[in-house]
Structure 1
Amino acid sequence: MYAITHDDQTLNWREQSTPGPLDDNDVRIRVAWAGMNRADLMQRAGGYPPPPGASEILGLEISGTVVETGTQVDRLQSGQQVCALLAGGGYAEEVLVHQAQVLPLPEGFGLREAAALPEMFATAWLNLFMEGGLSLNQVEGRAEHVLLHAGASGVGTTAIQLCRAFGHPCFVTVGSDAKLEKCLALGADAGWNRHRGSFVEAVKAWGGADMILDPVGANYLADNQQVLNADGRLVLIGLMSGRCAELDLGRMLMKRQRLIGSTLRSKSPQAKGAILDELYKHVWPRLVQGDLQPLIDRDYPIQQAEDAMAYVESNASMGKVLLSVNDQA
């Protein structure tokens, strides 16, 4: 098969070994589309190696067609169109993945749209509702205020929609007024262009945050603590600004704040499967109804992965960037 290599720090479409052999719970998928994520940029730069045993090839999500199943696979069959959450290997013509990490396409969705679902929705769902503790039922719970940093990113635009769908107002920070307008159109309650300075006073005036989803890290820690309400949860999912910062333990104690570190990639197939089961139950029906949608910025042929990654690195994108491998897969 062909796959993207990056041994010399350039991305090249070259012949590689076909993944195998197939384990009992594995599914072999002929890839149609692959999603690009910032984790791929980090891995290429040497800062985010794949978990032990995972493919060294970039790519954490794909859509495609099942071409082979293991002996214990009981809910998928050859010829079925699916999308999958991976630990690596997506920038390739074929992938092997545990059946727990594979979902059928939502009714009415094509392969291109479906490739934008696994990583964005799994990351947003895990960290908003499973780690961050947001309620799914506003009859029994109360609406909480959510602060989303990098609101125009793939995860950010997904999180905005999930907050809207489940009744939690959200405030976004973004890098331009154009991105802010788009986030507000998606359902954000309010927002802030980070180029205007600190978001602290704007978020305080909004009522503070009960939960924060933060891919930025070090540079935002102090300001995050200032706007996090009593019993608030700060879920850290990235380190775009660095990994070391000073934590105000006194504020943390007095306001009963919780700091939660979260990564999806290193979770076991069973843990990822539990997240995807939640998506299939709570999100897939809303996708079919049109209440939620993956926001796709643009796509590139897989042979132009270098250009696609440069575009993502420029911070100009709004939503997901996709790579076309074989749309007829």
Structure 2
Amino acid sequence: MRAITIPEPGGPDVLTWAEVPDPVPGPGEVLIRTAASAVNRADLLQRQGHYNPPPGASPYPGLEVSGTDSVTGSPLCALLGGGGYAELVAVAEEHTLPIPAGLSLEEAAALPEVACTVWSNLGHDLRGRTLLVHGGGSGIGTFAIQFGVALGATVVTTARKAKHGRLRELGAHRTIDYTEEDFVEALGKNKADLILDIIGARYLARNIEALAANGRLAIIGLQGGVKADLDLRVLMGKRASISATTLRARGHDEKAAIARGVRDHVWPLVESGAIKPVIDRRLPMSQAAEAHRVVEASEHVGKVLLAPAS
């Protein structure tokens, strides 16, 4: 088969579309013939040499895929530890999901990673609460906005101004241009019950300031650094909490449980049309370098897809 390899860490141009051995599925795994994969920030970090795949995972980038079971021909999508940028990928059957009714096989590639991330960090208790989503134009952000709205939350999001119109179309009640406004001041007295954060250290103190009493900050990315000071008195005074998670490093059983939760609780929202995959563009997998440039520059709204046969 062919796959995107990373001969050495570096910029987008190190990504190489090359002939590699076919994966061999192990016990409990299925072999998927890829229809499409999607680009995630974690892929950029892996390319740069900062985020290696977990033990036993494919060395190729790509954390989600859609395609067909190579034996039965059944359509499915899957959450991966790696390997999505390839014509074939082996994955634990428990980490696969059916294609939601109404979606094409290619569209489904935009969902597994974001759906599992958002579900595992926000859950389903959102009605009447205020949700602040940082990076609203990202794949995670566009999904989280729709998820929050579907579950009855008031959704506020930060993004560049050029993306605000699209994010309001997705249901965001308020959009904040982080290049011109301070999100804490913009929120004012309307503090957030939940914050989904991809920035990390740079936003830590202000995120705590933006939280309502008994609020929770869910950190899922570190684009703004890894170390920051925190005044614990502010956190304690608000009886607030912080969770910090990654999806890729979770164990087999935990990922399987998350996938089941997505199938049971999130897929019905997709099938009803309350949540739709947001796809910025589709590119041939051989042009993965261009896809990485687009995501690195935050030029996209939603997902950038890669298809082997494009």
TM over 0.5: yes
17, 24, 29: which one pairs with 2:27? 24
Aligned to 1:14, what secondary structure does the other structure show? Answer: strand
1:60 maps to 2:63 = yes
Question: Which residue does the alignment assign to 2:154?
Answer: 169
Shift of 1:23: 2.1
Query: For residues 268 and 29 of structure 1, what CA distance do their matches in structure 2 show?
Result: 21
- Check conservation: 2:53, 2:59, Cα contact below 8 A: yes
2:7 aligned partner: 7
2:170 partner amino acid: L
Equivalent residue in structure 2 for 1:42, among 42, 45, 59: 45
Deviation of the 1:61 alpha carbon = 0.4
| 8 Å contact kept, 2:219–2:244 | yes
One-letter amino acid matched to 2:244: G
Aligned equivalent of 2:54: 51
Match of 1:196 in 2: 180
Which residue of 106, 127, 139 corresponds with 1:154?
139
| Pairwise CA distance, 1:281 | 1.3
1:54-203 equivalences under 5 Å are 54-68=57-71, 78-129=72-123, 134-135=124-125, 138=127, 143-175=128-160, 177-203=161-187
**Residues 24-47 of structure 1: CA distance to partner in whole angstroms, max 9, x if unpaired?**
210011111011101000111111
Contact 2:7 2:16 in 1 (8 A): no
- Whether the 8 Å CA contact 1:65–1:82 is kept in 2: the answer is yes
The 3-state SS of whatever aligns with 1:276 is: helix
Find out whether 1:293 has 2:276 as its counterpart: yes
Q: How many residues align?
A: 306
Q: Distance in 1 between matches of 2:182 and 2:275?
A: 31
CA displacement 1:159-198 (0-9 Å, x = unmatched) = 00010000011110112x2212211111111121011142
- How far, CA to CA, are the matches of 1:25 and 1:111 in structure 2? 23
Give the conservation status (yes or no) of the 8 Å contact 2:136–2:157.
yes
Identity among equivalent pairs (%): 45
Asked whether the equivalents of residues 31 and 326 of structure 1 are also in contact (C-alpha less than 8 Å), the reply is: no
User: Runs (4+) of structure 1 moved beyond 2 Å?
Assistant: none
Q: TM-score, normalised on structure 1? A: 0.90
Structure 1 gaps, min length 5: 69-77
In structure 2, runs of 5+ residues without a counterpart are none
Specify the SS of the correspondent of 2:242.
strand
In structure 2, C-alpha distance between the alignment counterparts of 1:246 and 1:313, rounded to whole Å: 27
3-state SS, counterpart of residue 252 of structure 1: helix
**Alpha-carbon deviation of 1:108?**
2.3
Alpha-carbon distance in 2 for matches of 1:226, 1:187 = 25
Q: TM-score, normalised by structure 2?
A: 0.96
State the alpha-carbon separation in 2 of the partners of residues 322 and 144 from structure 1: 32
Partner Cα separation in structure 2 for residue 253 and residue 39 of structure 1: 32
1:71 aligned partner? none
Distance 1:111 1:291 in 2: 19
Aligned to 2:266: 283
Once residues 268 and 131 of structure 2 are traced to their aligned partners in structure 1, the CA distance between those partners, rounded to angstroms, is: 23
- The separation in 2 between residues aligned to 1:61 and 1:88, in whole angstroms, is 8
1:308 matched to 2:291: yes
